[in-house]
Structure 1
Amino acid sequence: MSETITVDAVRRATAPPALGALGLFTVLLAAALPLVDFFIVNVALPTMGADLHASEAVLELVVAGYGVAYAVLLVLGGRLGDLFGRRRLFLGGMAAFGLTSLACGLAPGPWSLVAARVAQGAAAAAMLPQVLATIQSATRGARRARAMSLYGATAGLAMVAGQILGGVLVAADIAGSGWRAVFLVNVPVVVLGLILAVRVVPETRSQHPEPVDGLGTVLLGLSLLALLAPLAEGEATGWPLWTWLSLAAFPFAAAAFWLVERRADRAGRTPLVPPSLLELVSLRRGLVLIVPFAVAFSGFMFVIALALQEGARLGPVPAGLALAPMAVAFLFTSLAGPRLIGRYGTRVVSAGSVVQVVGVLLIALAVRHGWPHLDVVALVPGMAVAGAGQALQLPNIMRIVLSEVPPARAGVGGGVMVTAQQSALALGVATLGTLFLALVPHLGMRDALLVTLLAQVGGIAVTGLLGLRLPRAVGELP
C-alpha cells in the first residue's frame, strides 16, 4: 500500500497542470477584454470628444496610447510570467486592468483619460500573454488544438463585438454615464474573472526561468514607439517635424534591437525575443500571415465606424449593429474551423481570404449604390460573408504560429505573436485610417470609403497568397 501511495504521489507531483473547461472559459474571458477595449472606443469617440471638449489629436491618443503601451510591453509581460508564474501575473494584470478601466470611466478630463488608457494598455500587456502561455503549458494534444481554435475565435469575435457593444452602451446612457459605460462595464467582468481564476486557473511557469532582458526591452519599446506613435498621431497633428524624425529613427532602432538580441542569443544569454525562436518555420510564417490580416481588419473597423456615423448619419447603435452579421457569421464559422482544417488543411486560410474579399466587395457595392442614405440591411450580406472569411483565417493562423513553440517558452512565444497582432492592429488604424481621413476632403466620404475598402482587399489578398506557401497540414509544419 505504501509503495502504491508513493508512486501515486510521484505521479501527481510530476504530472503537468491541467486546464479544465471552466479554467479555459476564464482565460478566454480575459483574452477578450483587451481586444474588446481596443475597438469599443471607436463608436464612442464622437460622444467622448463632445463631452470632454477634446481635439481630434487627443482622441487619437485615447486610441493610440492604449494600443502602443499594449504592444510595447507584451513580450515583457510574457517573460515576467515565465519568470514569476503565469497565474500570478494573470491575476495581477487582470486586477490592474479592472482598476485602470475604472480610472478611464471616471476620468475628469481628456488628458487624465489618455493617461488612464496608457496604464490600461500596460495592464493588458501583463495579463494577456499568460492566457496563451497557460493554454500551451496546461493542455495537450487535441485539447490544446481545440483550446487554440477557441482562443482564435474569441479574439476575432471580441474585436467585432467590442464595436457593437460600444454603440449599445453609448446609446443606452446607463444612469447618465454616456461614453463612460464602455470602460466601466469592464469592472464587474474583471471581478467575476478574478473570482474564477483564483479557483480554476493552474499555476505554470518555465522550469528554467530566464532573467529579464533590460536592454532588449528598451530597444523593442523604442522601435515600436518610433513606428506607431507618428503614424497614429501624424494626421491629427498635421505631420510636424517630430513625426518624420521618429519614422526615420525606426529602422535604426529596429536594427539595434535585432543585433543586441542576436548577440545575446549567440552568447548563451536569454534575449527578450530569441532569434532562435524565429527559426521555427511555423512561427515565422504565421507571423507573416497575421500582420496583413490584422492591418486590414483594424483599418476597416475604424473607418466603417467613422463613415457610418459621420457620413451616413447613423447613430451609435445602428453603426454598431451594422457589424452584428459579421459577429454571428464569425462565431458559427469558427466553430466549424477545426473540422475544416482537419479535412482540408491549411488551404482553409487562403480560402478564407477569398471569402473575405467577396464580403468586402459586397460591402463596397452596398456603399456605392446606397450612399448617403445607407440602409443597414443592405450591408448584411457583405458583413456576413466577410465575417465567415475572417473566421476561416484568424483562429487557424494563431494555431499555426504557436504549433511548435515549446511549453518552456510559451510566454515568450505568446508575447511575440500578440505583439505582432497588436502592432498590426495599431498600424491598420494608423495607415488605413490616415488614408481615409486624408481622402475625405478631396473625394468625399463615400469615395474615400470605397478607396479604403479596396486597400483592405489588397491586405486580405496578401494574406491569401502567403497562405498558399504553408504545408497542407499543421502537423506537417517543419
Structure 2
Amino acid sequence: MKEDEADGFSRGALAGIFGGLFFGYVGLTSVIPVLPGFVRDEYAASNLVVGTVVTATAFTALLVRPVAGHLADRYGHRRVMQAGALAVAVFGLAYFLPFGPLWLIAVRLVLGAGEAALFTAGAAWTMSIAPHHRRGQLIGLYGMSMWGGISLGTFLGALLENFGRGAVWTFSALAGLVAFVLVRTVRDQETAAPSGAGGLMLRPALVPGLALALGSAGYAGLAAFAVLHLEGRGSGSGVVVLSCFSAVYAGTRLFIGHFPDKYGARRVAIWCGAGECLGLLTVAAAPNLPVAVLGSVVMGVGFSLLHPSLAVLVLDRVDPARQGAALGAYTSFWDLGLAAWGPLLGVVASGFGYPAVFVAGAVCAAAAGLVALSLPQRKAVPA
C-alpha cells in the first residue's frame, strides 16, 4: 500500500477502515425509517414495543464497547471489526424471518453488539497506525465516516421502501457485506496484547468519559426539542437549526480538525465546552430563527471537536497495548449520556419549558469544560 511520505502511514489502510465503518453504518441505519411502520403494520405492536425494537441496539452497544475494545487489543483490530461487519450483513437478512417482535428485539440486540465491535475496533485500529501529531484529526475524520454512513443510510432506507421492505432488508445486508470486504482488504499489522492486560473499564477513560457524557446533554436537547422550541417562538423552521448544526459539525472536523493536535487536546476540549455552552444559551434565548441558527453554529463548532479532543486525552493516559479497551470504555459514556439525558431533559421540558432544556445543556457543557480542565496538560505539537 502507498504510504504518506510525510507521516509514514498508509492512506489505503485508512480508506479501508473508514470505508468499512461508513458502509457498516449505512447498513445499520438504512432500516431505521422502515422499522417503526413495519413493527406496527405486521404485528399491531404498541408504541412501547416499537420504541424498544428501534432503540434496542443502544443497550448492547453500551455494554459491549469495552469488551470489543479488549478483544481488539488481544486478538487484533481487523478480526473484531470484521466480526461487527459480518453481524450487520447476516442479521440484516434476519428481518425477513416472521418470528414476531421478540425476534426483532433479539436481532437488534445482536446488531448493537456488532455496531460496538465495528466502531470500537476501527477506532483503535486507526489510532494504532496514526502519527502521534495527527491522532485528534484522524479520530475526528473517523467519526465523520460514521455520521456520513448514518445520514446516507437513513436517506437510502426511506427511498428503497418504495420498492418494498424486502429491498431495505437486502440492502442492509449487502452494505454490511461491502463493509466486511473493505475491512478485509487492509493488511493486519497489529500485535496481540498480553492476555493478562487489565480490565475493561480502564481508569484513564473515566474522567474524559464523564466530560463526554456531560457534553452529550446539549446534543440530546437540540435533537429532541429544537423544533418544538422554535415552534413555541412562532417559527415553524426549527429543522433548519438541526441542519445547520450538522453542516457545521462536519465542516469543523474537515477544516480545523487538527486543532487538538496543534494546540493541545486539553486546551481545545476546554474551549469546546465553553463554545457549546455559549451556543446553547443563544438557542435558549433566541427570539427568532436567525438567532437560533447562530447559536446552533457556535454549538456545532464546539461540540464537533469535543469528542476527538477527549479521545486524545484518553490515549495520552493509557498504555498503547490497551488503546482499544480504553476507547471502548470512553465511547460507552456517549451511549450512557444519550440514554440518560433523553428522559431527564424531557422532565425538564415538562416542568420548566423548552428554553430550560438548552440552559440545562449549557450548564452540562460548561461542566464538561471544567472536567477537561482537571486533566493533565498535553503539549501541543508544532505544525
TM range (shorter): 0.7 to 0.9
Quote the residue 1:114 is aligned against: 105
| Corresponding residue for residue 349 of structure 1 | 269
Partner of 2:77: 86
Q: In 1, distance between residues paired with 2:27 and 2:235?
A: 24
Q: Which residue does the alignment assign to 1:27?
A: 17
Paired residues, number:
372
Deviation at 1:121?
0.4
* CA distances 1:313-366 after superposition (whole Å, capped 9, x unpaired): 98xxx8866523222211222231324652366322222222222322333345
User: Which residue is equivalent to 2:332?
Assistant: 419
Q: CA deviation at 1:105?
A: 7.7
Larger displacement relative to structure 2 (291-300 or 381-390)? 291-300
Matched to 1:404, the amino acid is R
Is the counterpart of residue 461 in structure 1 residue 366 in structure 2? yes
Query: What is the SS of the residue equivalent to 1:65?
Result: helix
Distance 2:307 2:36 in 1: 30
Contact 1:400 1:474 in 2 (8 A): no
CA change 1:471–1:41 in 2 (3 A) is: farther
Cα distance, 1:195 vs. partner? 2.1
Q: Could you say if the C-alpha distance between residues 198 and 38 of structure 1 is closer, same or farther in structure 2, counting changes exceeding 3 Å?
A: closer
Counterpart code for 1:193? A
Equivalent residue number for residue 96 of structure 1: 87
Which of 311, 333, 336 is equivalent to 2:252? Answer: 333
Hey, what does 1:209 align to over in structure 2? 195
Supply the AA of the counterpart residue of 1:329: V
**CA distance in structure 1 between the aligned counterparts of 2:295 and 2:30, rounded to whole angstroms:** 22
Conserved in 2, the CA contact under 8 Å of 1:303 and 1:432? no
**Cα separation, partners in 2 of 1:356 and 1:180, compared to 1, 3 Å:** farther
Report the 3-state secondary structure (helix = DSSP H, G, I; strand = E; otherwise coil) of the residue aligned with 1:346. Answer: helix
Q: Is the 8 A contact 2:27 2:173 kept in 1?
A: no
Q: Which residue in 1 is equivalent to 2:114? A: 123
Residue 124 of structure 1: SS of its match in structure 2?
Answer: helix
User: Which residue in the other structure is 1:58 paired with?
Assistant: 49
Calculate the TM-score normalised by the size of structure 1: 0.65
| Structure 1: segments with no counterpart, 5+ residues | 1-17, 211-269
Give the whole-Å Cα distance in 2 for the aligned partners of 1:458 and 1:156.
Answer: 26
Local SS of the residue matching 2:194: coil
Structure 1 or 2, whichever has the larger Rg, is 1
Q: Alpha-carbon deviation of 1:63?
A: 4.2
Counterpart of 1:294 in structure 2 is 216
User: How well do the aligned residues superpose, as a CA RMSD in angstroms?
Assistant: 4.0
Per-residue deviation, 1:290: 1.5
- Paired residue for 1:404, among 303, 317, 323? 317
Does structure 1 retain, via aligned residues, the 8 Å contact 2:282–2:291?
no
Contact kept, 8 Å, 1:298 with 1:429, in 2: the verdict is: yes
1:30-429 alignment to 2 at 5 Å? 30-31=20-21, 47=37, 51=41, 53-104=44-95, 109-142=100-133, 146-155=134-143, 158-159=146-147, 162=150, 166=154, 168-169=155-156, 172=159, 174-177=161-164, 181=168, 186-210=172-196, 271-273=198-200, 277-278=202-203, 280=204, 283-304=205-226, 322-334=241-253, 335-339=255-259, 342-343=262-263, 346-366=266-286, 369=287, 379-429=292-342
Distance 1:455 1:82, change over 3 A: same
**Aligned partner letter, 1:332:** G
Cα pair distance change 1:383/1:156, threshold 3 Å:
farther
Is the 1:352–1:390 contact (alpha carbons within 8 Å) kept by the matching residues of 2?
yes
Q: Name the amino acid aligned to 2:140.
A: G
> In 2 relative to 1, CA 98–469 (structure 1 residues): closer, same or farther, beyond 3 Å?
same
Gaps of 5+ in 2: 1-7
Amino acid paired to 1:70? A
Deviations 1:138-163 (A, max 9, x none): 34433xxx244232344267458736
Partner of 2:4: none
CA contact (8 A) 1:75 1:272 kept: no
Equivalent AA in structure 1 for residue 310 of structure 2 = I
Q: Summarize the Cα distance change of 1:364–1:159 in structure 2 as closer, same or farther, 3 Å threshold.
A: farther
CA distance in 2 between partners of 1:392 and 1:322 (Å): 19
What corresponds to 2:5 in structure 1?
none
Deviation for aligned residue 1:65: 1.7
TM-score, length of structure 2 as denominator length: 0.79
